[in-house]
Structure 1
Amino acid sequence: MRYEEMKRRVEEVVESGQVPELIDSLGIFRLWTHDFTRHHHPTIIQVLLESEKERDESGNVMPNLIYLSREKSRVSPHHFKAGALNTLLRVSGVMTNSPIILAIDCDMYSNDPKTPLRALCYLSDPKIKSELGFVQFPQRFKGINKSDIYACELKRLFHINSTGFDGLKGPNHVGTGCFFNRRAFFGGPHNLVLPEIDELGPYWISRKPIKAQEILALAHKVAGCNYEHDYTNWGVKTGFRYGSLVEDYYTGYRLHCEGWRSIFCNPKRAAFYGDVPMSLIDVLGQQKRWSIGLLEVAFSRYSTLTYGVNSMGLLMGLGYSHYALWPLWSIPLAIYGFLPQLAILHGVSVFPKASDPWFLLYIFLVMGAYGQDLLDFTLGGGTVGRWWNDQRMWMIRGLSSFFFGLVEFSLKTLKISTHGFNLTSKINDDEQTKMYEREMFDFGVASPMFLPMATAAVLNPLALVQGLFGLFTYRGGGGEVLAMELLVVGFVVVNSIPVYEAMVLRKDKGRLPKRVCCSAVILSSALYVLGYFFFK
């Protein structure tokens, strides 16, 4: 009832464009005018709680609580999340300047009140604190269905690989659940980059109340959208770093390059919990943005393979490169998704025969890679069912978000305008939740990102039927010739079962749209014709 009442009031405010005085008792919205939009408005800073004055019902001191909305202008760059974080960094420096900063996403919440104490155990340790830049907790999620059909847990990124990084210079920053040493944002451990004003320095201590006029005036100044025009170190040498859509990965990477170390803290009780996307298009859209941002780092002047290796050493440089070059996996995945299939359809073998000694090498590499991957996943607390969906999603990402991220980055590099393909699922929350709980893929929209995987799903069963037909009718060793191709095709077909269901069997709103299915059939036919000339 309270939620519905709040929802009604919010809708009334949006419709009328005015905030009633009863709601605005704290004066937060007094600057709201008819020109006030999410992309164009002045700075708003409001002290909601002041620790020197506020007490709870038991008489204990309350912490400072400050509302901030940075100034935005239609003509000024926003730098997205990194810009907002740098504004928070400056405003908090002017008003309180706490030496420890917690960065956490808005959709996550604390699950353990001892989490700050765990972080402070490291950040206060005299043996390591001089070079400790941040303490990273793994991302954990509530509401993941039993088999995690979209592999949103990202166990390797948030758990397995972070544990490995912890044996070197420490894990990367993953965007949330991270306690930073404020000093880390102002140069390396032995190379302090002085800010433009003393009040922004990491060791500055305010002697005035946070509601003092000069404090509030300076806080409004440093929150202005044009403030960084005159102080170009922000986002380059100080603060969260600009230059990539994945500002969390890039910032952690640059801090490690400057000489800072990090700690991976993974207690049994989750420190924070967040929500997971429940539609495939939301998952792929998010990871397409990651792909573009990772490539921006990989092919920048701070490339992980050159600058990273020179700054951090070979192992850390290669570890960061593993992520930075993620989107390039779309190339081999596309080859394995289409080449063996077209070869079977045209009666050509691209792998060694089963009697060839090289065939054993292929089998060893495939079984060894998947066996090690399964072992790592299960030892990290995963299940076989979740591992299967995780490797399935890896292939889906390769033919969708990785591929389109690579294309969009390439076009952007060539200064060619791109279409973002940013579509939103049209299915309401209740339907989405039911499908997710029943472990059914929600396609829902006619996104171009679904076309490559749908095309592969069309080609593979045709190739499998053709290959099996040849296996039972050809007397000259057809099974031996096409053994590896049939293994690859069969593996892809089994992984594509949710796609076949969405294309043929399902009638709900989460099915694969007919337009995508028809386009996939046309594209498959075109590839077959091209294959004729390629294999001729």
Structure 2
Amino acid sequence: MKLRVSATMTNAPIVLTLDCDMFSNDPQTPLRALCYLSDPKLGPTLGWVQFPQIFHGLNKNDIYACEFKRLFITNPIGMNGLLGTSYVGTGCFFNRRAFFGGPSSFVKPELAQLGPDHIVDEPIGSQGILEAAHAVAGCDYEEGTKWGSKVGFKYGSLVEDYYTGYRLMCEGWRSKFCHPERPAFLGDIPISLSDVLNQTKRWSVGLLEVAFCKYSPITFGIQSMGLLPGLAYAHYAFWAIWAIPICIYAFLPQLALLHKVSIFPKVSDPWFLLYVFLFVGAYVQDYIEFTLAQGTFERWWSDQRMWLIRGLSSYLFGFTEYILKSWGISTQGFNVTSKVVDDEQGKKYDQGVFEFGVPSPLFVPLTMTAILNFWALTAGIVGAFVDANLDGHFVQILLSGFGVLNCLPIYEAMVLRSDKGKLPTKTTLISTFLVGILCSVSAAVLKLSY
């Protein structure tokens, strides 16, 4: 709609998209974008110039990992070496022509004045301009037209920014990532865990809608863009699939440890070194990439912890919600992320304290993980001395200890806090009950297997 309204009022060849909570931080930003968009070598196929999404007001350790350095900085730099970076919904200068078909094709809109080459020759406040803008601003205007499918921003996914950029790149458009030292734009971040997880859940559902549609990056994307760009977009599209391995590692080794079953190689086994190499190597690589993007150790720790938290909540619930939607089962629907700062919440956030507060189903698997890992670690340490089997259970004890370390904010919210942001008692009781059922079922399954 905004694209059509701007066409009737100015029809400027460059379109800037910004989230409502973002503001300009550098007056030189338009000039930087124009350097790319006016370059004759890039111009014919350059669809947009993307600036990184950077936030102000982050606390010292960024406890909710809202920077998303890989999403907004590291990955775009890599994709810049291919066909260009993805569109992230804000901080982006578009070539208006890109919304009307590929560089070598053109989809004509139903009104000539909506086309990219139309010249507006009336004052912006004139009666004719205002009437035209009002006419094309209707929510039902695009019905029976190509808007949303062939023209303009693409519909069909909750992550319309990712989907639009992906489809434009499949049409032949290219993009550039511009990352100046001074942030071009700054925005707000959610300061409660519930808002953070609901935001990522919404993204997960939207990305899966693209992953399994007829324009899937694995099939249509690779065919249209090539192998590497297609896989780069598929990396985002299948985000929520991370819920499967994360949930397995959060529950299975711990349940096995409680039942004194070893599922990993012993310390004395040569294969143990492979597990050490993969675990340490993956985290070292992750840390190096994060620090190269000007991150600190404390923020990296928050980032990897939130990746695990999102995997157990946002990705898991997003994956489940997508499956239910695919089966025609009603779900909660679209939730807008709140950016309103409550005084008490803001104070807790500045202190680096997790804000739970409201009872949410998203907190249940997190609390279950915290309880199960604590039980498993305690039982594993006791068993290692009583049964003298540290060699066989060392990896499982290590994983349980790593889980406990990552769950420290949850333990604090469960036991030590009494403020409004503590973990609701109802959530703790439900999680404890479910962990008990899980242990009983796993014991029964183990008994039957023998």
Q: TM-score, normalised on structure 1?
A: 0.82
Pair 1:485 & 2:419 matched? no
Give matches, 1:417-436, under 5 Å: 417-420=330-333, 429-436=342-349
Contact 1:142 1:274 in 2 (8 A): yes
How big is the shift at 1:216? 2.4
Deviation at 1:262, TM superposition (A): 0.4
Which of 105, 123, 128 does residue 191 from structure 1 map onto?
105
1:324 corresponds to 2:237: yes
Matched, 1:251 2:164: yes
- Aligned twin of 1:503: 414
**4+ runs deviating over 4 angstroms:** 420-425
Question: Counterpart in 2 of 1:165?
Answer: 79
1:212-267, CA deviations, whole angstroms, 9 ceiling, x for partnerless residues?
33332222111122211131x10101100000000001001111111111000000
- Return the index of the structure with the highest Cα Rg: 1
CA distance in 2, matches of 1:156, 1:453: 24
The equivalent residue for 1:27 is none
Question: Residue 420 of structure 1: CA displacement?
Answer: 4.9
**Pair 1:216-2:130 in alignment:** yes
1:135 aligns with 2:135: no
Partner of 1:373: 286
> For residues 246-285 of structure 1, what are the structure 2 equivalents within 5 Å?
246-285=159-198
**After the TM superposition, which residues 511-530 of structure 1 pair with which residues of structure 2 at under 5 Å, given as runs?**
511-530=422-441
Q: Counterpart of 2:376 in structure 1: which amino acid?
A: A
Whole-angstrom distance in 2 between the partners of 1:258 and 1:230: 22
Determine the structure 1 residue equivalent to 2:326.
413
Residue 116 (1) aligns with residue 30 (2) = yes
- Measure how far apart 1:280 and its partner are: 0.4
The answer for the alignment partner of 1:34 in structure 2 is: none
Unaligned stretches of 5+ residues in structure 2: none
Q: Which piece of structure 1 moves more, 135-144 or 413-422?
A: 413-422
Compare relative contact order (CA 8 Å, sep 6+) and give the higher one, 1 or 2: 2
1:313 — aligned with what?
A: 226
- Per-residue CA deviations over 1:383-419 (Å, capped at 9, x if unaligned) read 0000000000000001111111111111010001123
Question: Which SS does the other structure have where 2:371 is aligned?
Answer: helix
Contact 2:199 2:337 in 1 (8 A): no
Q: 1:419 to 1:89 in 2, by over 3 A?
A: closer
Bigger proportion of residues as helix: 2
Q: Secondary structure at the match of 1:229?
A: coil
Q: Distance in 2 between matches of 1:132 and 1:184?
A: 8
Q: Distance in 2 between matches of 1:421 and 1:323?
A: 20
Inter-partner Cα distance in structure 2 for 1:94 and 1:248: 23
Q: State the shift of 1:208 in Å.
A: 2.5
Structure 1 residue 422: deviation in Å? 5.6
C-alpha distance in 1 between matches for 2:188 and 2:341 = 17
Partner of 2:368: 455
| Structure 1: gaps spanning 5 or more residues | 1-86
Counterpart position of 1:386: 299
C-alpha separation between the residues in 2 aligned to 1:458 and 1:135? Answer: 47
For residues 46-97 of structure 1, give each alpha carbon's deviation from its aligned partner in whole angstroms, at most 9, with x where no partner exists.
Answer: xxxxxxxxxxxxxxxxxxxxxxxxxxxxxxxxxxxxxxxxx11111111210
Q: Aligned to 1:101, what secondary structure does the other structure show?
A: strand
Counterpart Cα distance in 2 of 1:422 and 1:496: 26
Contact residue 100 and residue 108 of structure 2 kept, 8 A: yes
Question: Per-residue displacement from partner, 1:361-403 (whole Å, max 9, x unpaired)?
Answer: 1111111110100000011100000000000000000111111
**Partner letter of residue 398 of structure 1?**
G
Query: Which shows bigger deviation, 144-153 or 87-96?
Result: 87-96
Percent identity over the alignment?
60
1:340 and 1:180 map into 2 onto residues whose CA distance is 49
Candidates 471, 474, 478, aligned match of 2:384: 471
Q: Which residue of 2 aligns with 1:38?
A: none
Contact 1:502/1:512, CA 8 A, preserved across alignment: yes
What is the aligned length? 446
| Partner in structure 1 of residue 21 of structure 2 | 107
Q: Deviations over 1:510-535 (max 9, x none)?
A: 10000000011101100000110232
The C-alpha deviation readout for 1:175-214, integer Å capped at 9, x for no partner, is: 1000000000000111111111211111111222333333
Q: CA RMSD in A?
A: 1.4
Within 2, Cα distance between the matches of 1:407 and 1:133?
Answer: 35
Give 1:212's aligned amino acid: S
Deviation at 1:473, TM superposition (A): 1.6
Q: Deviations over 1:326-378 (max 9, x none)?
A: 11101111000000000000010111122222221111111111010000001
Match of 1:534 among 442, 445, 448: 445
Q: Which amino acid aligns with 1:529?
A: S
SS of structure 2 residue aligned to 1:179: strand
Q: Deviations over 1:14-35 (max 9, x none)?
A: xxxxxxxxxxxxxxxxxxxxxx
Say if 1:96 and 1:421 are closer, same or farther in 2 by CA, change over 3 A.
closer
Corresponding residue of 2:148: 235
Q: Choose 95-104 or 428-437, whichever is displaced more.
A: 428-437
Q: Is the contact made by 2:372 and 2:435 (CA closer than 8 Å) also made in structure 1?
A: yes
Letter in 2 for 1:97: N
The residue type paired with residue 518 of structure 1 is L
Match of 1:68 in 2: none
Q: Is the 8 A contact 1:281 1:424 kept in 2?
A: no
